[in-house]
Each structure stands twice: as C-alpha cells, then as structure tokens.
Amino acid sequence: MKIDFWVLAFSAVTVVVTIALGFWSAKRSKTAGDFFVAGRAVSVGWNASAISGEYLSAASFMGVAGMVMSSGYDALWYPVCYACGYLFLLLFIAGPLRRFGAYTIPDFAEGRFDSPLFRKIAVVFVLFIGFFYTMPQMKGAGTTLAYIFPGLPYGAGVVLVGAVITLNVALGGMKAVTLVQAFQYWAKMFAISVPVFVLMSVFGHYGRQLEANAPAGPAAVEAVAREPLPERAPADEVWIAPFGPLTTKAAKAAGLPPEQSRPYALLYTYSLIIALVCGTAGLPHILVRFYTNPDGVAAKRTTMWVMILIGVFYLFPPVFGVLGRNRMPELYNGLSGVQGTDGVVLKLPLILAEQHGIVGSVLSGITCAGAFAAFMSTFSGLLVSITGALAHDIYGRMLRPRSGPRERMRMFQYCAVLCGGCAILLGFLVETFEINKLVGWAFAIAATSYFPLLFLSTWWRNITMQGAACGMLVGGTLSLAAIASTMLADQAPWAGGLAAWYRTHPLARTLAEQPAIWALPLAILLMLAVSRLTRRDVPADIRMKMLVLHAPEALGLKQEYIEEHVSNAGTGST
C-alpha cells in the first residue's frame, strides 16, 4: 500500500492543530494553579468535552469496533460499561470529591485520613495505573503510524506522539491540555460518525446490517449484500447471541459442551461488567480532571454531559464492527492488532473507493486522523496525572514542602519531560503486547483498589487508614496477580504447567481472567474488617471532614489544596 495523500493530510492537520493549540494556551498558563488544575475555572462545556476527549482512547476508537467484529454481542459490554461507569462516579464520588478540594487522589488520601504514609501508598498506585494505561497508547501510536505509512519503523509513532504531547504538557500544563483534549473529542466524534453515516447510506443501516447476520431463512432474501465469511470468523448464531466466543473461552479450552459452558460465560460477563463500571469510577487520570471544575455542582453537571458525549460516541464503533463483518470479512484472517479486526475503523472506508473514488480515501484519512487524536488526548491526560503526582505529591509535599508556587510550576515542567521520556521508552518495550488487554488490566486494578477506597471513605466515617490501605493493596495486587497469571499461562513457555491446570479448571481460569467479581468484595470486606479492628485511629475531626465532603458549597466549607500564594500544609479545617 502506498502512502495515501488524504491520510497524510488529515493526520498532519490533527498533529499540527494540537501543537498550535498547545503553544497558544502556553502563553495563557502563568500560575501553578493553571498548570495543575487549569486555574480551577473550566466551564462545564469545555470540561465535559475535555474529559470525554481524554477518556476515548485508542482502545475505544479502534479496539471496540475490532472487538465487536471479532466477538460480537459480548463485546458490546465494553462500550456500554465504559460510558455507564460514569453514572457510579456521578452518584457516589464526583460531588464529594470535588468539594473536598484536594488536588490529587494522594491529596485526598492524606487529607481524609491525616496520614502522610497513605499519601505515599496512593502515589505509587497513581504512577502504576498511569504507566500501565500509557503503554497501550504508545503501542497503538507505534503500530498505527507504521500501518498508515508503510516503511516507518514502530518507534517512529511512539516518538512522534510522545514528543508532541510532552511538549504540550510541559508548555502549558493542565490548561493547555484541557483545550487540546476538548478539540480532540470533537475531532474523534467527527471522525467516527461521518464515515459511519456515509457507509450506512451506501450499504444499508445498522439494523439491516445486523439482520443479515441470521441463519439462512426467508428474511435473509431481502437482507443487505455481504461478503462470504472466512473460516476463522465465528458463525452468525454464535456471534450475534450473548455468551459467545469472548466469554466462553475458558470453558471451550476445557472441552465443555456449549450447554455447560453457559454458566461460566454468565460469570465472566458479570465480572467484566463490575470491572468496567467500577474501574471507570476509579481511574486516577479521569478523577484528577474533576478538580478543574469550579465547584461540586459543576462537577455533577460536567459528569452528566460527559455521559452524553461519550454515550453518543460509543453508538458508532459497534456499527463499524458490524459493517466490517459484512463487507470486509477478510480482516478475520489478518494477524493481531491493526493488521486484523482492530484495523477495521481505519480500513473499512476504503471499500468505497471502488465505486466512489476519492470519497473512500478522504473518509479513511478522517478515521486515521481520529485515531491520532485518540492516542494524543489520552496520553496527554495520563501525562498530566503522572506529572501532577510527581511534581505535586512527591516534590511539593514530600521532598520540598516549603517550595513556592513558582518552583512547583518549574518542577511540573521538568517532571513532564521526565515522564514523557519514560513513557516513550516504555512504548518501545511493549511492541509485542496486546493493546486491549493492558487497558483491561488498568480497569481491573482501578476497580479493585481505588473504587472501594473512594466509595467507602466518602460514605463511611469509621474507615481508618489501616483499613483503607489494606483493602486497596490486597485488592489491587491480587487482581493484578490473577490477570498476570493467565497472561503468563498463555504466552510464557515456562508456565506450561499453569496453562495445563487452567485448561482443566475453567472456573479458576474465568475468575483469574476477570478478577473483579471476587477482588472487589474482598477489598471492601478487608476495609470494613480492618477498620473495625483499628477503630481507635479514626481521625478525631471526622465529623468536620464528612461535613466538608457532603455539605452544599453554599455553606462555604470548601477547602482548596492548591493555592496561588500560600502553600498550606496539612488539612486544616475552616
């Protein structure tokens, strides 16, 4: 495939606009508050677009369509739960967290429990989840760029995306990133919706496309045309029905008949739902954005708009998956990643080229540009959150608590360059990893560590630092270990014994692959039990803390952690 002019043009425009917006807003980012929380004055509309832009990563833009194409109905849970997880965030966490006024999760951890130690534990988790989420973005950038421009090495995309975003973050911090991400949300929305509408108007709409996926019968006669499916593609009745190839993998490996594999599939589905819904409510780089809202009321309104913006977006990738199955089934034969079904968003518009000439190339250029926007916006959010953790929590709170706002701002810039460099290096290491799996890991870890922590410390006054830390560490590490064990069993040659054991124990395999269903209750139980045992350590001013979390802003109890002139230590009640 030669380099397409339109693909090059649209991708270049996205990158150039991103850099330009970064420079433009860098001139307006003057204070530490601008860098860390965008001056805490981002309007609801901008913030909702920016949060949505940050959230819709490569996994959403390309991965969801690819998964729907390869796994059918079961993969629908991903877009639905990605979008609906925000409801949990809205119901239980968004308002109180913003009111507490902490800047980062570690701030919240320390302020809520009066424990500097807990801040350290929380920082480690932020860095861990952040880098975990970063690796797949880097890998996506590398493979996509190498696919779009054949001949470029894998590293080129990693370096390009890494360098552009590091520059933006170092120049303008959160304020610059907010603007860029808001732009990138609308770029992605445009890039996914326009091709879908054009394709549907040419080949038949969403429902008619799905109608074609039925066992041959009278209905199939007037259904839309479709290409013959290759052998590697799942059959229609398995693909369109629940409990298909994605959720029954463990049972199939054990050689169980379809009827007996259904309970495992149900279990897998539930665990997946829990991980995605609770994980969304516990991702540090999403939570940090809530502090850019002026107050708790705006935080709630923003969440509502985020749900709408993201929900509308997520209607489209599954359509790509269905269209891809009907019109471009040869992708099933491709290797993993962009070569296979994950590339459907980038490649499908090209089928228009035969009949409509240039339209196909233009649309394909648009989706490629959308993919670029996806890597860049998610990575910029991650970089801000990691950098914030380093510059604010480690430097500003632990190493040099007396540093002034100016020094912290400088430090933010150095840390951005440092973290961006690390992310690029990590990107080189993960060339052979599967993208969606890594994002899934980050969700499972967030769901079993941060979510129970935030939920209980907002609503239960008797939780202690020991209880919270215990539940968070055990929940997070056990689910990480469980997922890692299945990956080792699949890929490492020396883990053959484990692989064989998993093959004969489909229940264990299912629970290890999707650990949220047992790890989340375990984390909550541990938090409850250990807090009960250490009840003497409940902070003395707990009533004040709960009041700050829950009282309406109108009463004037809110506290702020990042201030322009004074750097206040500790929590200090109003």
Partner 1 sequence: MQDIHSETFLRMLMRRQLRLSLFCAAAFLTVLLGLPLANYFLPALMATRVFGFTLSWFLLGVLFFPFVWTLAWIFIRRSLALEREEARMARHED
Residues near partner 1 (CB under 8 A): 73, 76-77, 79-80, 83-84, 86-88, 90-92, 95, 205-211, 214, 219, 240-243, 262, 266, 269-270, 273, 277, 297, 300-301, 303-304, 307-308, 311-312, 314-315, 318, 459, 543-544, 546-547, 550-555
Q: Tell me the C-alpha distance between 447 and 443, whole Å.
A: 6
Long-range CB contacts for residues 553-556, cutoff 8 Å, separation at least 24: 553/99, 553/295, 553/296, 553/297
Minimum CB separation of residue 281 from partner 1 in Å reads: 11
**What is the CB neighbour count within 10 angstroms for residue 280?**
24
- By the 10 Å C-beta count (0-12 exposed, 13-18 middle, 19+ buried), 265 is classed as buried
- By the 10 Å C-beta count (0-12 exposed, 13-18 middle, 19+ buried), 315 is classed as middle
Q: How many residues belong to the chain?
A: 574
Identity of the residue, 296 or 405, whose beta carbon is nearer to partner 1 in the bound complex: 296
For residue 518, give every residue at least 6 positions away whose Cβ sits within 8 Å of its Cβ, in sequence order, or none: 511
Identity of the residue, 6 or 206, whose beta carbon is nearer to partner 1 in the bound complex: 206
Minimum CB separation of residue 304 from partner 1 in Å reads: 5
Q: Tell me the C-alpha distance between 296 and 410, whole Å.
A: 29
Minimum CB separation of residue 20 from partner 1 in Å reads: 34
CA 337 to chain centre: 18
Minimum CB separation of residue 392 from partner 1 in Å reads: 29
Q: Is 265 helix (H, G, I), strand (E, B) or coil?
A: helix
Q: Tell me the C-alpha distance between 181 and 298, whole Å.
A: 19
Minimum CB separation of residue 81 from partner 1 in Å reads: 8
Identity of the residue, 387 or 531, whose beta carbon is nearer to partner 1 in the bound complex: 531
Identity of the residue, 76 or 483, whose beta carbon is nearer to partner 1 in the bound complex: 76
DSSP 62: I
Of residues 516, 510, 406, 509, the one with CA closest to residue 452: 516
Identity of the residue, 160 or 212, whose beta carbon is nearer to partner 1 in the bound complex: 212
Identity of the residue, 95 or 106, whose beta carbon is nearer to partner 1 in the bound complex: 95
Minimum CB separation of residue 362 from partner 1 in Å reads: 28
Query: With contact defined as beta carbons under 8 Å apart, do 380 and 22 qualify?
Result: no
Minimum CB separation of residue 359 from partner 1 in Å reads: 25
Token match 């506290």: residue? 559
Minimum CB separation of residue 449 from partner 1 in Å reads: 20
Minimum CB separation of residue 509 from partner 1 in Å reads: 19
The dihedral through the CA atoms of 260, 262, 266, 269 has a sign that is positive
Minimum CB separation of residue 75 from partner 1 in Å reads: 10
Q: Tell me the C-alpha distance between 400 and 385, whole Å.
A: 19
Identity of the residue, 313 or 441, whose beta carbon is nearer to partner 1 in the bound complex: 313
Query: With contact defined as beta carbons under 8 Å apart, do 88 and 277 qualify?
Result: yes
Query: With contact defined as beta carbons under 8 Å apart, do 276 and 77 qualify?
Result: yes
Identity of the residue, 541 or 563, whose beta carbon is nearer to partner 1 in the bound complex: 541
Identity of the residue, 80 or 359, whose beta carbon is nearer to partner 1 in the bound complex: 80
Identity of the residue, 535 or 543, whose beta carbon is nearer to partner 1 in the bound complex: 543
Identity of the residue, 211 or 330, whose beta carbon is nearer to partner 1 in the bound complex: 211
Q: Tell me the C-alpha distance between 509 and 482, whole Å.
A: 9
| Biggest CA-to-CA distance, the chain | 77
Identity of the residue, 112 or 175, whose beta carbon is nearer to partner 1 in the bound complex: 112
Minimum CB separation of residue 542 from partner 1 in Å reads: 10
Q: What is the dihedral of CA 308, 313, 319, 324, to 10 degrees?
A: -160
Q: Is 92 helix (H, G, I), strand (E, B) or coil?
A: helix
Minimum CB separation of residue 189 from partner 1 in Å reads: 14
Identity of the residue, 75 or 386, whose beta carbon is nearer to partner 1 in the bound complex: 75
Q: Tell me the C-alpha distance between 281 and 362, whole Å.
A: 37
Rg value, the chain, Cα: 24
Minimum CB separation of residue 35 from partner 1 in Å reads: 30
Q: Following DSSP, what letter does each residue of 367-406 receive, concatenated?
A: HHHHHHHHHHHHHHHHHHHHHHIIIIIIIIIII-TT--HH
* Helix, strand, coil share of the chain (percent; to 5): 80, 0, 20
